[in-house]
Chain A
Amino acid sequence: MLRKTLARMTLGTAALAFSLGAWASSPSTIKIGTLYAGSGNFAQASTRQYDGLKFWAKQINAEGGLFVKAYGKRIPVQLVAYNDQSSTTLAASLYNRLITQDQVNILVADYGSVLTSVAIPLALEHHIVLFDETGTSGKFFKPEDKNRYIVLTGLPTSSQWPKVLANFLHTVGSKRIAILYAANDWSGSQAETLKTSLKALGANVVFYESVPNSTSSYSTILHRIAASKPEVVAEFGYSNNDIAFLQNYESSGLYFPMVFVPNPALHYEVVRKAVGDQAIRHVFSYVAPPLIRYNKEVNYGPTLDAFEAAYAKSGGKNVDLSTVAGYNTGLIVQKTLATSATFTQEAMRNAVDTFSGKIFTLDGLFQVNHEGAQTGESLPVGQVLPTPHGLQLLPVFPLKSAVAKYVYPTPGK
């Protein structure tokens, strides 16, 4: 009897000690370190992405914090964020500061591949998982690099984006395609994929050239493209490139049966307001959330409708893909910490694998491969079409995602 009592007391004391130890070693806050571009080329998208992440942190803290399975309790979130001014040099220094001085628990990248690229070697060196929000360059996820310290939380790698477009062009029977792209990794990888996919499908790429990122005048180039008599012109660039391209096309007097640009998918209202309804009507693009709306499918976090309503109520406005991407990253971090049995970076990365392919957020199906590249989401082809609510970018292909019938060839100007 005495022996049993002693054994129970020993076990009880051990359990108490263990739980007290765990309590004592749990951090008072979960530090999430990130960067945003308050100025410069990426400011427009980066600030919106950061707004999305901030909104998620605010919501989580209002609920008492983030549930951390490793400690069995909710812990408040503390965002540590610095302005990198769209500079990769400054970003590299600030990422290093987040890791070494601020000792953040979670590292979240800034917007896009350019500002994410400098975080990758630092995350790898310090063995901290980089939650990559929108850095979609295929170079980040090469199997030969064996980098387990990166997770692309939303959007497929950019080299995957045009595959649906290539199938669409094949379906509508376009044979002569002109591809123009800005000389950056994001645009170049899309152009390369489209060219390769089209050639495999038997189409003829009649024009394939790059322009500098800073190109703001396309009139002369448009005349060169016209000389190659294409049925489709696909221009890949940043939003400043797309805006100048569409403006110059509209005022050029030229006509192509189809024009495709990528950025309406990312910042539809910004592009539409900049170029005007006349220039964007019937233009083709990708379609991404919030233009493609995930509600019924969502099994983790709020639906897109609920998110937009809550965001608007909190004073937020202009929800676009960047805002959704920032919020979605918060959801993936939330799920990671709710799943990871221990509070180590390796355990967190392994935890991501356990829920990969199983959760569907407002951004789409979250599914990553061994290298952390997003494979769950795909980008349908859309077209800017007139609706009772004005011009909207609507999914038109593949047919299972389509909510409208495409217009091709587009009406002449």
Chain B
Amino acid sequence: MSLLEYAVLAGIFYGLYFALVGVGLNLIFGVMRIINLAHGDFLILGAYGAFYVFHLFGWNPLWAIPIELVVFFGLSLPLYYLLVPRLQKSGDPEMLSFILFFGLSQVIEALAVFAFGNDQRSIPASVFGGSPVTIAGQVYPASWVVSAAVGMAGITLIYLYLYHTRIGRATRAIMTERSEAVVTGISVHRVSAVAFGIGIATAALAGIFSPFMIGAIAPSLGMGITVTSFTIIVIGSLGNPLGTVLGGLLYGEALMLMQTFLTSWAEMFPYALLILVLLVKPTGLLGKAVRSA
């Protein structure tokens, strides 16, 4: 019973973190209908940012949060105007985005190898204090609790942005029906650029905690993280950020429970879950809700 309790709570921590990993990808898809295959690479760049904040300056990686949110948001705006409007003029932006962002992913990976080398890097888990945290009689790494807390905070902020700000409501209008949003006078590119920036910045935010949740970082890990993110958002529902929370939690629970009871199959099960969800509900678990929002 103790192991089951441990796994369930660990799944929640892990799931909240992975919801943060996926939410940026889903926001970008929901608003722009483009698939950012470089999502994992932005996350890895965020991880390197935290690595250097810690190793060069000796600062706690939490200091990387404000720095990276500003830097990645700022850099993503010109990237948006360089790439996305052209993509959306094409006949099939979704498919073209696949190819274009795959190329971008390869470019980022290659540049990261030049800049950071191929060595695996990480940050000692002791930066969040040497002692683990006891919750409900179970002992968890402090870094997991911090990562989950930041994940929850990040998702809450995105929720507040989408549902309680004017630009957020405009964002949801575009997500629901882009052409109608244009007719109503919403500045689609301005709103989309902000959503794109938030998507990239949340990827970098998740990257700050990846050394503790995903293990050692290396330039080649980006594509694998993108695939995991994609799994999570498809389980929840493509285009629905709230579905990502559900997808993340299911992913975390599936992984932790399998690691506890069927270790060898742990990495495969979330993908089996994805296939099951797609067969039963092809739009994802919250698929219908997003269309009627």
Please list the residues of chain A having a beta carbon within 8 angstroms of any beta carbon in chain B.
38-41, 43-44, 47, 86, 183, 209-212, 214-217, 219-221, 223-224, 227, 239-241, 243-244, 247-248, 250-254, 267, 270, 273-279, 413
Given contacts A214-B224, A247-B125, A278-B126, contact A39 B113 (CB under 8 A): yes
Q: Does B214 contact A (CB under 8 A)?
A: yes
The majority secondary structure among interface residues of chain A is helix
Residue of B110, B143, B259 with highest tally of chain A CB at under 10 A = B259
B114: min CB distance to chain A, Å = 10
Q: Is the CB of A41 within 8 A of B216?
A: no
**Please, which residue of chain B has its CB at the minimum distance from the CB of A38?**
B113
Please list the residues of chain B having a beta carbon within 8 angstroms of any beta carbon in chain A.
3, 6-7, 10, 14, 55, 109-110, 113, 117-126, 130-132, 139-144, 211-216, 218-220, 224, 255-256, 259-260, 263-264, 266-268
B52: min CB distance to chain A, Å = 13
A46: min CB distance to chain B, Å = 8
Bound Cα distance A117, B118 (Å): 22
Q: Chain B residues near A221: list those with CB within 8 A.
A: 259-260, 263
Q: Is the CB of B120 within 8 A of A270?
A: yes
Q: Is the CB of A274 within 8 A of B132?
A: no
User: Which 6 A-B residue pairs are closest in the complex by CB-CB distance?
Assistant: A276-B124, A251-B141, A216-B215, A244-B215, A43-B118, A274-B122
Q: Is the CB of A252 within 8 A of B132?
A: yes
Q: Is the CB of A219 within 8 A of B141?
A: yes
Additional A-B contact list (17), CB under 8 Å, known A224-B3, A253-B139: A38-B113, A43-B118, A209-B263, A209-B264, A211-B266, A215-B267, A216-B215, A220-B3, A239-B120, A251-B142, A267-B119, A273-B55, A274-B120, A275-B124, A276-B126, A278-B124, A279-B126
Bound Cα distance A243, B211 (Å): 10
A235: min CB distance to chain B, Å = 13
18 pairs, CB–CB < 8 Å, chain A vs chain B = A39-B220, A44-B118, A183-B264, A212-B268, A217-B256, A220-B7, A220-B256, A221-B263, A223-B260, A224-B260, A224-B263, A241-B215, A243-B215, A247-B124, A250-B126, A251-B126, A273-B55, A274-B120
Bound Cα distance A270, B90 (Å): 46
Q: Chain A residues near B142: list those with CB within 8 A.
A: 251
The majority secondary structure among interface residues of chain B is helix
Q: Chain B residues near A38: list those with CB within 8 A.
A: 113, 118
A59: min CB distance to chain B, Å = 24
Residue of B124, B211, B214, B264 with highest tally of chain A CB at under 10 A = B124
Bound Cα distance A40, B122 (Å): 17
Q: Chain A residues near B256: list those with CB within 8 A.
A: 217, 220
Given contacts A253-B132, A275-B124, contact A41 B220 (CB under 8 A): yes
B116: min CB distance to chain A, Å = 11
Q: Is the CB of B141 within 8 A of A248?
A: yes
Bound Cα distance A88, B260 (Å): 32
Bound Cα distance A240, B221 (Å): 11
A218: min CB distance to chain B, Å = 8
Q: Chain A residues near B14: list those with CB within 8 A.
A: 217
Q: Chain B residues near A250: list those with CB within 8 A.
A: 124-126
B38: min CB distance to chain A, Å = 15
Given contacts A217-B213, A247-B215, A275-B122, contact A40 B220 (CB under 8 A): yes
Bound Cα distance A239, B120 (Å): 8
B265: min CB distance to chain A, Å = 8
Q: Is the CB of B120 within 8 A of A243?
A: yes
B252: min CB distance to chain A, Å = 10
Q: Is the CB of A244 within 8 A of B125?
A: no
Q: Is the CB of A47 within 8 A of B118?
A: yes
Bound Cα distance A276, B6 (Å): 26
**Please, which residue of chain A has its CB at the minimum distance from the CB of B55?**
A273
Q: For A220, give its contact among B121, B220, B260 (CB under 8 Å).
A: B260
Q: Is the CB of B120 within 8 A of A251?
A: no
Q: Chain A residues near B141: list those with CB within 8 A.
A: 219, 248, 251-252
Q: Is the CB of B264 within 8 A of A39?
A: no
Q: For A274, give its contact among B131, B216, B260 (CB under 8 Å).
A: B216
